[in-house]
A and B are shown apart, each in its own frame.
Chain A
Amino acid sequence: MMTLEKLQELKEKSRLVLEERLKEEDNTEVKDGNFILKGDYYRKQTRIALRNCEIIRPESIDEYIALDGYTSLGRILTEMKPEDVINTMVESNLRGRGGAGFPAGRKWAEAFKYDSDKKYVICNADEGDPGAFMDRSILEGDPHSVLEGMAIAGYAIGADQGFIYVRAEYPLAVKRLKQAIEQAKEYGLLGNNILGTGFNFDIELRLGAGAFVCGEGTALMESIEGKRGMPRTKIYRTAQKGLWQKPTVINNVETLANVPVIFQRGTEWFRGIGTEKSPGTKVFALVGKVKNAGLVEVPMGMPLREIVFDIGGGVADDKAIKAVQTGGPSGGCIPADLLDTPVDFESLAKIGSIMGSGGMVVMDETDCMVDIARFFLDFTVEESCGKCVPCREGTKRMLELLEKITSGEGTEEDIARMESLADTISSASLCGLGQTAANPVTSTLHYFREEYEAHVNEKKCPAGACQALLEFYITDKCIGCTKCARNCPTSCIDGKLKERHVIDTDRCIKCGNCASVCPVGAVIKR
């Protein structure tokens, strides 16, 4: 049977093997006694949740153990009372990384309070924000950190059963998790009588089936129970009556991955990183029109500009940055002149966006803000569960208004009506998805109102993105090669060989074929 001593021995042995391998592969360096990945991109980051990603082999529990894995769990089980574990968590002020930023310690304390024959720990791995893949990387790159975090939570609140609800769209993550759970059970680090302490904790995987709303805690529980993933009305808190009406703690992947480290290195160390109200780090999926797209983990409070320019290398093709979208479909667009905003829960909320799960999409001058709002609303409409009226009906109408505006048929009244609708959707919807569904519209209306007005009044899309408002035009660069005319599906281009061609805009369907075949770039959108 595995004991704490045996775990220590295994750790020392495995560490030597790991060091050997890393030395050979030569893509890491040692900083303050920890391995970090080489290169500027990584050197500027502070990796806590991603500490092991791309360093250890995710299939190997030994390598996880080599870097202090399961040591926290072992020490907690043998040396700490559940109350002390909760106190440490509260003291660390680790806030939920899934979006809302609720302190994890307070959730645990609440669930601990209730007496029950059964309690549950759920890991929310239903990462669904478009453009976000933080949780996926952790699950694929360091699955044991999540399992260890869950077991610690289980011990703290008195649960013996955990569930990981993971998106079925992440097959590799599912495979790695399955394998990791088996290994941990084999080693006696999960299952019955863990490390001989009498503590039992088992973890079961449950797969999502393609419903974004299941990222909402109560919808997720409905889904695990085998029902339609429709959020519950909150008569009771999840900590009191959650999964199968039993006290339940739900934490997201990144939050749980932070837990073991906090117990290894202490709350003081953890609170020394980030800001006072938002300690620690946050992982962001930096994507869109940025040079170095990828995952970045930085201390909370780092200005947006530093993330996008110092780490991300700035905007691709050296275009001008226009906005950064954070928080996915529940978030907002932050305009370029607010790039010095520190990235933490409070600061982002103040400027009308949210931290969310960490999606960060960089947009340049060719991105139309009205169209981006339309994109997110389209997502929300598709993913609304349909339970409550404001979200089901309201987002649909809002999307129709946005479609009207982007196709050049909008009016001033449509903008006013959207504002009024946004207000009701936010204040009267049942769950977080509905309450934040209007954010992409509200924030772009706030910062980019002139773009909406241009669509409505001048019937122009300043960014040149809304097809319906564009006109294809052949400039005098044209060499009369006839290629465009031959490739036009509606034969709306006229012109003689070696003479400048002309597009009949009435018949043009704006497919853009002409522009892409033109050898001299004479076809422009205007």
Chain B
Amino acid sequence: MEFKFNLEENKEKIQEFRDFIKENRDKQGVLMPVLQEAQVKFGYLPNEILEIVSKDLNIPLSEIYGVATFYSQFTFIPKGENNISVCLGTACYVKGAEKVLAEIENVLGIKCGGTTPDLKFSITPTRCIGACGLAPVININDDTHGKLKPEDIKAIIEKYR
């Protein structure tokens, strides 16, 4: 699925983003913080934004692309309004996280890592989020849902629709 980045609609955000770069460009090793800011601001890293970063920081586009694709937190498709992160750490795994994930995929009709076409939901796999006492755990936005069973999923997702 292609999600097109609209430069015109994002004009203001882009200006704010470029101001952020300007303020921080003299910091050593600033590329990661800049990409993190972009990820938060735009929800993903469109190619157009990578080109702006390359120009404003004077770092080759290839290097930026290489860094952005290395870290799993950076994404190249937009995140949904509600992001469901499914913990796949050891404790959750032992307690059935895979079945919970399968049910979420089933309910939303997308695969892990994807975003629903209406941009309402996305599913992100995460490493242990350190809530092992509540395993298996998912985070929807900032809410933690723990001790889950596959049959709980439908009702939980319904609350965010």
Direct contact of A and B (CB under 8 A): yes
Q: A38 in the interface, Cβ–Cβ < 8 Å?
A: no
Q: Are A293 and B133 in touch, CB under 8 angstroms?
A: yes
The answer, among A131, A137, A209, for a CB contact under 8 Å with B35, is A209
With A209-B35, A225-B28, A361-B90 given, is the CB distance from A169 to B129 under 8 Å? yes
Q: Could you say which of A144-152, A281-289, A404-412 contacts chain B?
A: A281-289
Which residues from B are CB-within-8-Å of A363? 94
Q: Are B71 and A210 in touch, CB under 8 angstroms?
A: yes
| A127-B63 Cα distance, complex, nearest whole Å | 26
User: Which 8 residue pairs are nearest across A and B when measured between Cβ atoms?
Assistant: A133-B130, A226-B31, A209-B71, A210-B72, A210-B73, A131-B90, A130-B89, A226-B29
- From A465, which residue of chain B is reached at the shortest CB distance? B94
The answer, among B66, B71, B72, B90, for a CB contact under 8 Å with A375, is B90
Q: B112 in the interface, Cβ–Cβ < 8 Å?
A: no
- From A134, which residue of chain B is reached at the shortest CB distance? B130
Q: Are B94 and A227 in touch, CB under 8 angstroms?
A: no
Q: A35 in the interface, Cβ–Cβ < 8 Å?
A: no
The answer, among A133, A224, A293, for a CB contact under 8 Å with B29, is A224
Which residues from A are CB-within-8-Å of B88? 130
Q: Are B91 and A288 in touch, CB under 8 angstroms?
A: yes
Which residues from B are CB-within-8-Å of A206? 29, 32-33
With A136-B130, A206-B32, A223-B32 given, is the CB distance from A131 to B91 under 8 Å? yes
| A131-B133 Cα distance, complex, nearest whole Å | 10
Q: Are A211 and B71 in touch, CB under 8 angstroms?
A: yes
Which residues from B are CB-within-8-Å of A375? 90, 93
With A209-B72, A244-B28, A288-B91 given, is the CB distance from A130 to B127 under 8 Å? yes
Q: Are A207 and B128 in touch, CB under 8 angstroms?
A: no
Q: A168 in the interface, Cβ–Cβ < 8 Å?
A: yes
- From B142, which residue of chain A is reached at the shortest CB distance? A171
- From B63, which residue of chain A is reached at the shortest CB distance? A227
Q: A170 in the interface, Cβ–Cβ < 8 Å?
A: yes
- From B129, which residue of chain A is reached at the shortest CB distance? A169
- From A362, which residue of chain B is reached at the shortest CB distance? B94
Which residues from A are CB-within-8-Å of B89? 130-131
- From B125, which residue of chain A is reached at the shortest CB distance? A382
| A244-B33 Cα distance, complex, nearest whole Å | 17
Which residues from B are CB-within-8-Å of A137? 130
10 extra interface residue pairs, beta carbon distance < 8 Å, beyond A130-B128, A328-B90, A359-B90: A130-B93, A133-B131, A170-B130, A207-B32, A209-B35, A226-B32, A229-B70, A230-B70, A293-B133, A361-B94
| A525-B114 Cα distance, complex, nearest whole Å | 33
Q: B42 in the interface, Cβ–Cβ < 8 Å?
A: no
The answer, among A128, A207, A227, A287, for a CB contact under 8 Å with B91, is A287
Which residues from B are CB-within-8-Å of A211? 70-72
Q: Are A226 and B70 in touch, CB under 8 angstroms?
A: no
| A206-B32 Cα distance, complex, nearest whole Å | 9
Q: Are B94 and A209 in touch, CB under 8 angstroms?
A: no
Q: Are B66 and A228 in touch, CB under 8 angstroms?
A: yes
| A285-B130 Cα distance, complex, nearest whole Å | 9
Q: Are A209 and B129 in touch, CB under 8 angstroms?
A: no
User: Smallest Cβ distance from B57 to chain A, in angstroms?
Assistant: 9
Which residues from A are CB-within-8-Å of B128? 128-133
Residue numbers of A with Cβ under 8 A of B are 127-133, 136-137, 168-170, 206-212, 223-230, 244, 285, 287-289, 293-294, 325, 328, 359, 361, 363, 367, 375, 385
Q: Are A209 and B74 in touch, CB under 8 angstroms?
A: yes
Q: Are A287 and B132 in touch, CB under 8 angstroms?
A: yes
Which residues from B are CB-within-8-Å of A130? 88-91, 93, 127-128
Which residues from A are CB-within-8-Å of B72? 209-211
| A226-B31 Cα distance, complex, nearest whole Å | 5
| A133-B133 Cα distance, complex, nearest whole Å | 11
Q: Are B32 and A209 in touch, CB under 8 angstroms?
A: yes
Q: Are B91 and A361 in touch, CB under 8 angstroms?
A: yes
Q: Are A293 and B132 in touch, CB under 8 angstroms?
A: yes
| A127-B90 Cα distance, complex, nearest whole Å | 14
Which residues from A are CB-within-8-Å of B135? 287
Which residues from A are CB-within-8-Å of B36? 168, 207, 209
Q: Are B30 and A285 in touch, CB under 8 angstroms?
A: no
User: Smallest Cβ distance from A170 to chain B, in angstroms?
Assistant: 7
Q: Give the interface centre of A169, A170, A206 by most chain B CB atoms within 10 Å.
A: A169
Q: What are 6 A-B pairs with beta-carbon distances under 8 A?
A: A132-B128, A168-B36, A207-B32, A227-B31, A288-B94, A361-B90
Q: Are B90 and A229 in touch, CB under 8 angstroms?
A: no
Which residues from B are CB-within-8-Å of A359? 90
| A324-B126 Cα distance, complex, nearest whole Å | 23
Q: B67 in the interface, Cβ–Cβ < 8 Å?
A: yes
Which residues from A are CB-within-8-Å of B67? 226-228
Which residues from A are CB-within-8-Å of B132? 131, 133, 285, 287, 293
Which residues from A are CB-within-8-Å of B29? 206, 224-226, 244
| A469-B81 Cα distance, complex, nearest whole Å | 40
Q: Mark B42-82, 1 if CB is under 8 A from A, else 0.
A: 00000000000000000100010011001111100000000
- From A467, which residue of chain B is reached at the shortest CB distance? B98
Which residues from A are CB-within-8-Å of B126? 169, 210
